[in-house]
Amino acid sequence: MSRSLKPVLLAGLAGLAILGTGPLIAQTAKPQAKAAAPAQAPAAKAPMLGLGRPALPEEIKAWDIAVRPDGKGLPPGKGTVKQGDEIFQAQCASCHGEFGQGNGRWPVLAGGVGSLTADRPEKTIGSFWPDLSTVYDYIRRAMPYGNAQSLSPDEIYALTAYLLYLNDIVKDEEFELSDKNFTSVKLPNAAAFYDDDRETTEKAFWGKEPCMKDCKAEVKITGRAAVLDVTPDSKSAPKVD
């Protein structure tokens, strides 16, 4: 390396260290990184590489389709159960069934309330989903399957209202869902979710020194895949939950 190039390279390395890249680079540039320590805060204020360009409001509006549980992201609009029924029969029932019961293997959207501790739980919007916002968000981004993002905000409000009706969460066919009353609707299973607690509830899986010799007297086979015979190439195919 020529002497005259050195300062340029060092400056480059220092810049990288500020951004907190891999340990190798950070080590190489240690003295520089120390001087630049305050800039290590995650919320860096100024553009550092000058790449990318400002996103325009129209562009953000076009792509910003997510809806949160607090209602952030809901577009203005409204729709009734009755209107939703009509749209559902035209756009959704061929897969999900007239009443959201699911045709063939397509997802079941209604029913299953009280089945979550059963041997074969039925996890639907009414029995399992915690937030109504997810219904709106998911229809808006991904449904109908194969023709996503083709429904208007009002149509999605109507469909969401119909799904509430199919799940007995609203009883009135005249019920109208809108961006105004949306967050007042609560789903039955909302309180049944909690954050990952494996490090507490599965603490026993950590730190044990497992047995290596003469660990058990007897071993018996309790189940075999070949009995079920559902692996591809085998002849039968079972029903799937």
**Apex 107 CA angle, 87 and 65, nearest 5:** 60
Which span (27-35, 41-49, 76-84, 168-176) binds another protein, by CB under 8 A?
41-49
Interacting residues with another protein between 77 and 106 (CB under 8 A): 104-106
Give me the DSSP letters along 128-172.
T---HHHHHHHHHHH-STTSTT-S-HHHHHHHHHHHHHHTTS---
**Binding residue (CB under 8 A) for another protein from 47, 171, 174, 235:** 47
Q: From CA 51, how far away is CA 70, in angstroms rounded?
A: 33
Q: Which stretch binds another protein (CB under 8 A): 76-84, 115-123, 152-160, 165-173?
A: 115-123
- Among the listed ranges 26-34, 74-82, 117-125, 171-179, the one in contact with another protein (CB under 8 A) is 117-125
Residues 123-182 that bind another protein (CB under 8 A): 123, 125, 128-131, 133-134, 137-138, 141-142, 145-146, 148-149
CB of 183 to another protein, least distance (A): 13
Q: Judged by CB under 8 A, does residue 225 bind another protein?
A: yes
Q: Which is nearer to another protein, 5 or 46 (CB)?
A: 46
Q: At its nearest, how many Å lie between another protein and the CB of residue 152?
A: 17
SS3 182: helix
Q: Judged by CB under 8 A, does residue 69 bind another protein?
A: yes
Determine, following the binding rule CB under 8 A, whether residue 63 of this chain makes contact with another protein. yes
How far is the CA of 202 from the CAs of 66, 93, 116, 194, 211, in angstroms? 34, 43, 22, 15, 19
Q: How far does Cα 115 stand from its chain's mean position?
A: 23
Q: What is the dihedral of CA 160, 164, 170, 176, to 10 degrees?
A: 10
Q: Does 60 bind another protein (CB under 8 A)?
A: yes
How far apart CA 137 and CA 148 sit, in angstroms, is: 12
User: Does residue 49 touch another protein according to CB under 8 A?
Assistant: yes
